Each structure stands twice: as structure tokens, then as C-alpha cells.
């Protein structure tokens, strides 16, 4: 082994990410109203609007406490599960590419806990989103440090 391999590479200062760590009050209000709007749209049966509202703001978990995060994720996935399989492509087509990136984040976070959320519906959403937004959409979810 050469000498440079014996260096402790972790001794360097860790790379710090620039994240605004504090949870602002306006953020809380923003995310709460997001959940409420999506919920009321689901109750009205207007699922297209519910999904649109769900992806209208980039939800970033680092900027919200755990309970709000849970509430947001479950609300958005509830909306997605309520859509009939045949209607998914129509709704996906109405969204912009940036909105699809956000929706894809929810798909992945939902599939991460299969015991809570219905993965078979989420994988259908995944397929339909990739059909429109391409593989780039998946890559963006995987590289984005601002996770849901």
C-alpha cells in the first residue's frame, strides 16, 4: 500500500451543506395550508386539482418538523391513491416538468415505506411520470439534496 493510502481521509473537515435549518413560521403555515387544500379537494372529488395543489410548492423536509412531514406525505399520497389508474396519464400530462419532479419525490418517499403506503399504485404513477418526464426525472429525485 502506498503512503497516501495510509492517510486518514476523514480527518478533513466534513463537507457542510448549506441548508436553512430553522423552521420558519411562514413555512409551517404554508405546508399546513397545502395539506388542508389537498384534503378539501379530495373530499370534493376534484382529484386533478388536489394533485396540482400538492405539487404547487416544493416541500422540503429539512425545513419542516417531523409531524408536518408525515402529514404532508400521507395527504399527497392519499390524493394519488384516490385517482383511478386510467385517469393517471391525463393528470400527469397537465403538469409541468418541475411539478412532475416534485410529484416523483413523493412517489419515491412513499415507496420507501411499503408497510404504510400502497406500492402498486405508486409504481403505476412512477411509470406514467417517466413516460412523460423521462429518465431525467428519476435522476433529479436521486440527486436532489432537498428531499421530501
Nearer Cβ to other proteins (57/78): 57
Positions that interact with other proteins (CB under 8 A): 2, 4, 7, 15, 97-98, 101, 133-137, 139-140, 143-145
- Minimum Å gap between C-beta 33 and other proteins is 27
Spatial contact of 72 and 35, defined as CB atoms under 8 Å apart: yes
Grid coordinates in use for 30? 404554508
First to last CA, the chain: 42
The nearest distance, CB 143 to other proteins, in angstroms, is 4
Residue 59 C-beta: closest distance to other proteins, Å: 16
> Which is nearest to 106 in space by CA: 17, 4, 83?
83
Residue 7 or residue 86: which is nearer to other proteins going by CB?
Answer: 7
* Residue 23, burial from CB neighbour count under 10 angstroms (0-12, 13-18, 19+): middle
CB-nearer residue toward other proteins: 120 or 143: 143
Pick the closer one to other proteins by CB: 6 or 84: 6
Amino acid at each position: 500500500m502506498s503512503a497516501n493510502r495510509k492517510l486518514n481521509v476523514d480527518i478533513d473537515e466534513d463537507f457542510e451543506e448549506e441548508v436553512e435549518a430553522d423552521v420558519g413560521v411562514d413555512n409551517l403555515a404554508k405546508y399546513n395550508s397545502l395539506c388542508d387544500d389537498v384534503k378539501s379537494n379530495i373530499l370534493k372529488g376534484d382529484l386533478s386539482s388536489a394533485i396540482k395543489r400538492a405539487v404547487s410548492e416544493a416541500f422540503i423536509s429539512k425545513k419542516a418538523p417531523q409531524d408536518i412531514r408525515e402529514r404532508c406525505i400521507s395527504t399527497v399520497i392519499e390524493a394519488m391513491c384516490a385517482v383511478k389508474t386510467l385517469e393517471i396519464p391525463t393528470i400527469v400530462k397537465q403538469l409541468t416538468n418541475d411539478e412532475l419532479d416534485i410529484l416523483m419525490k413523493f412517489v419515491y418517499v412513499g415507496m420507501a415505506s411499503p408497510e404504510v403506503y400502497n406500492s402498486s399504485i405508486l409504481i403505476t404513477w412512477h411509470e406514467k411520470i417517466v413516460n412523460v418526464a423521462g429518465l431525467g426525472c428519476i435522476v433529479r429525485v436521486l440527486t436532489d439534496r432537498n428531499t421530501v
